Amino acid sequence: MFTVFRGGRSGAWRVTRFAPVKGASLSPTPALSVVHSLTIALPIMPSPTSWRLAGVASHLRYAERAEKKQLDASPAEIGRPEATYAALIPIKKSAAWWELTQEERRQIFEDKSHHIASSLKYLPAIARQLYHSRDLGEPFDFLTWFEYAPAHADEFEELVRTLRATEEWRYVEREVDIRMERE
Q: Which residues bind ligand HEM (CB under 6 A)?
A: 60-63, 71, 89, 91, 115-116, 119-120, 122-123, 126, 128, 130, 142, 144, 159-160, 163
Give the nearer residue to ligand HEM in terms of CB position, either 2 or 97: 97
6, 50 Cβ separation under 8 angstroms: yes
9, 32 Cβ separation under 8 angstroms: no
Give the nearer residue to ligand HEM in terms of CB position, either 46 or 104: 104
For residue 138, the minimal CB distance to ligand HEM (Å) is 13
Give the nearer residue to ligand HEM in terms of CB position, either 12 or 60: 60
For residue 128, the minimal CB distance to ligand HEM (Å) is 5
Give the nearer residue to ligand HEM in terms of CB position, either 2 or 145: 145
For residue 160, the minimal CB distance to ligand HEM (Å) is 5
DSSP state of 23: S
For residue 142, the minimal CB distance to ligand HEM (Å) is 4
Between the CA of residue 143 and those of 47, 166, 175, what are the distances in Å? 22, 19, 10
Runs of H (alpha helix) within the chain: 65-73, 95-99, 102-106, 115-119, 153-164
Across 87-113, b (16+ Cβ under 10 Å) vs e yields bbbbbbbeeebeeeeeeebbebbbeeb
What SS3 class is residue 17? strand
In 3D space, the residue among 136, 146, 140 whose CA is nearest the CA of residue 176 turns out to be: 140
For residue 168, the minimal CB distance to ligand HEM (Å) is 7
Give the nearer residue to ligand HEM in terms of CB position, either 57 or 160: 160
